[in-house]
Structure formats: C-alpha cells, structure tokens
A and B are shown apart, each in its own frame.
Chain A
Amino acid sequence: MANHALGRRKFLKRAGAGAAAGLAMAPQSPAQSTGSAEGGTGPVKPGSDFMLDVIRSLGIEYCAANPGSSFRGLHESILNYGGNQNPELLTCLHEESSAAMAHGYAKIEGKPMMIMVHGTVGLQHASMAIYNAYCDRVPLLIVAGNILDANYRRGNAEWVHSVQDVAAMVRDYTKWDDSPVSLTHFAESAVRAYKVSMTPPYEPVLLVADGPLQEEPIPEQNLRIPKLVLAAPPQGEDGAVKEAARMLAAAENPVIVAGRMARSQQGIALLVELAELLQARVQDQRLRMNFPTAHPLYGNPGVLPMNPNVSDADVILGLEAQDLWGVTHKMTPVNRFGMETQSTVKPGAKIITISAVDLNHKSNYQDFGRYVEADLAITGDAEATLPALIEEVKRALTSDRKNIIEERGKRVAESNERARKQHRELAAIAWDARPISTARLAAEIWAQVKNDDWSLVSWDRMMSAWPTRLWDFSKHYQFIGTHGGSGIGYGLPAAVGAALANKKRGRLTVNIQTDGDLCYAPGVLWTAAHHQIPLLNIMHNNRAYHEERMYLALLGAKYDRSPEKSDIGTALKGPNIDYASVAKGFGMYAEGPIENPNDLGPAIKRAVERVKKGEPVLLDVVTQPR
C-alpha cells in the first residue's frame, strides 16, 4: 500500500486527496487547513499527527521511549509535527527504564508521563516496571504500537512485533486499556485513559496505537478531541466518616498508620491537622511523604517504617496503609514459611481503614495483601476524605477529653525525642569504619544538601532508613517512597524521572543508589547525561544482594546448615564492579570507589556543585550491608 521508499511526509503530500481533519486542539494546527478544502492538492497529515494533538491536549510533557517501528508514525509526528515539545521525546535504552522513569516522574509531578513501546517485545521489557507502578498506585500512560492488520505487515520483523491483544500481557496490572480502530476512537479512549489513570487509586493505563492508523492519511471528517475533566477523588461515605470520628475522639490511644496517603502537600497539612486535633501518633510507612519527620507526633519507627509497632493503640486508623494485616500481626521466622501467626494489637482494639484501593482490586497478582479484619472499612481516597473526617472529629471531641488528649501528645513527643537521641547515638557507632557505615553516608549527604531545596528520590530501607532517622523531611517532594512491587531495577530510572520533574523547579535531586538495582539497566545513566538531567547519584555499594543472603542464612540454619556458602549467588565481588567507570562510560561525571569515610564529605561537596550547574553525577561509595 504505502511506498516505503519515500519519506512518509513526502508520500503523504503526494497521496493528498480527501483527508480532512477538523481538529479541536492542534497546537501547530496545519491539519485544520489541509485536505479537501485545498482541493486535494495541499499537504495532508498522517493519523499520528492527530494522535499527537490528542496527547498534547492531555498536557503530557514527556514521552520516554526506546525506538520501535510499530510506533514510528507517532515518533515522527512528535519530532516534526510537534517540534519535539510537549511531549519531548526522552531517549531510553530499555523499555523498563522508560516505564520506571515515568514512575518516578509521576510521584513528583503528580501526573503521568507517556511511554511508547512495541506492542510485543517492548511491552514485555517494560512489564516489570509497569507492575511496580501498579503496586505503587502511580499514573502512567503507556502507548503501545502494533499492526493489527496482517495485510499491512512487512516481513518477519513486523509479524513478530504484532499481536492480537496487546494489553493482555499487562492487563492484570493496568487499570484500563483499549485498542482503538479509528482516530475518533483513539481520541475518546486517550482522554478516558488519562481520566481513569488520574482517578484514585492512580494506576497505569494502556492505549494501543495501531500502525496503519498512525501512518495513513487522516481519513475521518470532523475529528474532535473530547474535553478532559478529571473526576473528583472518591470521598468516604458521610455516616461512616462520622462513626470513625466518634471512635477516634473516644479512644484512649489512637494511632494513625499512613501509607500512600498524601498525594500532595495539602495531604500532609491535613494529616498534621488531624493528628494535632487528636494528639495522636502518626506512623508514616514512608510510601509517600505523609508527615513531617520532625513533628512531635511523628511516630519514630526505628528502622522499619513499613511495619510500625501499634500494640499500644486502642484505635488504629489506616490511611491508604499498606499491609495493615502485617502491621497488626507478627510471624516468627519459622512461621514466615507458612505456619501460625499472632495478633499484636491489644484485645478489643478497633481498626478503621480509609482507602481507595478497594475500588480497583484484581485477582491474579496478589498485591492486595492479606485480608484486614477492620471494624470500620471506608472506601474512599484518604486525602479527599480527611477534610470531612477532621470536621467530624472537631464535633466529636468533648471538653472533658482535653487533659487526656494533651497528656497523650506529651507522651508521644517525649518518646519521639528519645528516639531521635537514640538514632544519633547509634549513628555514632562505626562512624570511622570501612566499609563506610550507612549512617555515616546519610549524615554526610545531609550536611551537604540540607540548606538547599532538596528532594530525596530513593527508598532508604536498604540503608536502615538512616535518612528518615537523621534528616528533616517536611515537603511532599522530599520523599517519594519506593518501587511498589519490589521489582529491582526501579531505583535509578525512577530517580532520573523524578529528577526531570524537579529540574524545572530548580530542586537538588538526590538518589542513594543501591548497586544491585543499578545493574539491571544501567543505560539510563546515559539518558540522564544525554538530556542533562541534574541528579546526584550516590552509590550505596555494599557489593551483594544482602537481603537474599540473609534469607539463605535463615533458611539454612533452620536445618542446622552453616551460612558459609550463602554468598554464592548473592555477592557482587570478584571482580568488584567499578561503578564510576560504568558511569563515565555512559558520559556522566563520576568519582570512586570511595572507601575512606573522611573522603566522603569533600566528594559529595564537589558533586553537589556540579549538579547545581545542571549535570548528573555519580559517586561510588563502598558501604556496609545495611
């Protein structure tokens, strides 16, 4: 059908006749003056130009992609029709990097990035990162190229890159998908997809961009783009919210467990207001930045924010909490292999849950976790429900409770202060050790960034949560939680995506990067260098997959087997990986390996200066396991 020896736009110009496009939103709008109005002699446009108009109407800033022929039409339109702006194409070296970059970006920007993938091989590469985004309740717009019409496919490559049902392989962990067969269909489904993705619980969505639909001249008359109106987040039912307020106000010791609660700075402010009203301890699971770590009511978690101790609570309020069953139960090491469990809450303690996740349960993948036997379960977005809950708590609190509530707050504050003091004492141990202690690493970074507008975009559990324990977090963008699905390979690309969102705001983005994670798809170092995305990468290079080694030791010991061989298959030594050379090879400034703790501060200072000038940097620091 198409003469592939010609350039596509040249071909389309020759093909000319008949195609018209009455676009609702065309930033450069040539389509509006094409087609039959010119009597068939003027330039016509490919369908992908209209697709791009649709995508631009959604406010998409970036499109991350590793190039693929099944979406070459859209790719070309982004460059030549769209001028490579809104969205700007980000060159990725792996589709998993594309999706994970979008994951990190969304958690800072609060809206989706678009990624483009081959409907077959590219989507398979991206699938792990899509699963992470799904488990982490993050919006993401996936556009998958495909050639459904067998008669349109050229040669073997396009046959092996084509599929009947593109979305099938990720349908278990995307919220919605569609395979449009016309441009009108594409427009409506794209707007719907964006809206679905951005309605809590946020999740990835997938839209197929059919090859012929992209590449052939626009055939349809009177094309228009539907208006995007985002849905108001679902709020908990009034009566249930009132009952929750009554239970909280009457409680002797209510404790709030916040998971992916705050979607914005406003979410943090609301949680502070609720906590202060009740003088209740907040156990932030650190899956988002929910509560200021220096606040007196911050429930200092020690080293495991995800599994706080709530055994002293008589009412537990879970706000988009993760694994609340795990928070309220314990399993012994033997039991973790499938035996008995034990509740850790007080007899008679009540559990209240507020979460939108119940609106999107699927069956196959088990990310929903163990069933929580709540006494009051409210389906609704927690941040959207908090204003009503706060008002109801104000009504429910009576003056005779005032002294009890004040005393409670004092106890929490005193406990918090003791914990902060203890953290500093523990950080002092092994201060001068080699390998460098993770506490020292966190303290040295904090000293260099604390006076800037910083954003830590990596999870800190793998370093005993030392940043959480030593730094002061208060802003929503200062912490973005974790991977969601525990799929390794998230860290570095998510950091690059988050840094991209921070770039236009002039923030100093910090990524404390684990070594095993970096090795999955290190090519994203090049993407960061190529697009000049300012990012301070500091390796937590402990030269092993230590958690897995701990599991081997634990399981072996159960059968009286020594852990001496547990480094086989888990250690990353012999040879040691030279991450500074890896980064340099991808065009990034790098230093290391840094093994002397006294060298660390000056190296971080040098790195920060470079990042502030607009470039990504990597410091390889050899560290203790945790």
Chain B
Amino acid sequence: MRILFVCLVVAGAVRAQNPNAANGKRLFEVKACYECHGWRGQGGLAGARLAQTKLSLQAFRNVLRNPPPSNMPPYRTAILTDQEVADLFAYIQSFPAPEPPNRIPLLK
C-alpha cells in the first residue's frame, strides 16, 4: 500500500512536469473558465485577462485555490487537481499574442 502511494505521488509529479495543453483546452471549456475570461483569455466584464499572463504556475494555482475577493469561484482540488491546473496553465500560455492595436485599423 505504501509503495503504491509513493508510485502515485511520483507519477503525479512526473505528469505535472508534462502538462497536457489539449486537456487544458478541454478543462477551459468544461470548467466554465471561458464564461468570465473569454475563449482566448481576453478578460472582460466578469473576469481578468489570462492571455499572456505573467503569473507563474505556482501563483496561478494559488489564485485558483484562493481567489482574491471577486466573483472568481475557488477551484480547490475537488474541482481541479494540481495536474489539471498545470494542464490548464499550459493551455492558457498557448494563447497567441495579440497584434499591437496600432496595427489594427479599427483600433488606431
């Protein structure tokens, strides 16, 4: 039993070091992240910008687990495991960088 536990911990640690952005994309939808943060993490009325986040994985996880006073739900481990947080973070990091507004005619 103890051996199995150690194996699981090691396996978890290994997986966390290999985040799965595809799974993160799935989680971004089913866990309703896009509702407030937008499909590209652009932020808006109800949620902060996630695209091009400057947070580390650790800081990102901390915010998810214990969000600051806002309408952000707390995503504790019962809702998102550490591995899933890593997957989600990997997906968020994959959002393309936006064009500078002065290169978009309608935003000049």
Contact = CB atoms under 8 A, between A and B. Distances in A.
Interface of A: 303-304, 330, 332-333, 424-431, 433, 435, 437-439, 443-444, 446-447, 461-465, 470, 546-547, 549-550, 553-554, 556-558, 560-564, 566-567, 624-626
A447 B49 CA distance: 25
Contacts of B104: 428, 431
B16 interface: no
B32 interface: yes
Given A333-B71, A557-B75, A625 B43 contact: no
A514 to B, nearest CB: 13
Contacts of A447: 106
Contacts of B107: 424, 427-428, 443, 470
A560 B38 contact: no
A550 B36 contact: yes
A214 to B, nearest CB: 49
Interface residues of B, number: 36
25 contacts: A333-B69, A333-B70, A424-B107, A428-B99, A429-B40, A429-B43, A429-B51, A430-B40, A430-B42, A430-B51, A437-B40, A437-B42, A549-B32, A550-B36, A554-B71, A562-B79, A563-B31, A563-B32, A564-B31, A624-B34, A625-B34, A625-B36, A626-B35, A626-B36, A626-B38
Contacts of A556: 73
A413 to B, nearest CB: 20
Contacts of B47: 626
A404 to B, nearest CB: 33
Contacts of B72: 333, 554
A463 B31 CA distance: 21
* Interface-centre pick from A433, A446, A557, A624 (highest chain B CB count, 10 A): A557
A277 B71 CA distance: 38
A188 B43 CA distance: 55
A93 B77 CA distance: 51
Given A428-B100, A435-B39, A625-B34, 16 more contacts: A333-B72, A333-B73, A428-B101, A437-B42, A470-B107, A550-B36, A553-B32, A554-B73, A560-B76, A560-B78, A562-B78, A566-B32, A624-B39, A626-B38, A626-B45, A626-B46
Nearest to A427: B107
B32 A624 contact: no
B75 A426 contact: no
Contacts of A444: 106
A564 B70 CA distance: 20
Interface string B50-88: 010000000000000001011111111011000000000
A303 B44 contact: yes
A303 B45 contact: yes
Contacts of A437: 38, 40, 42
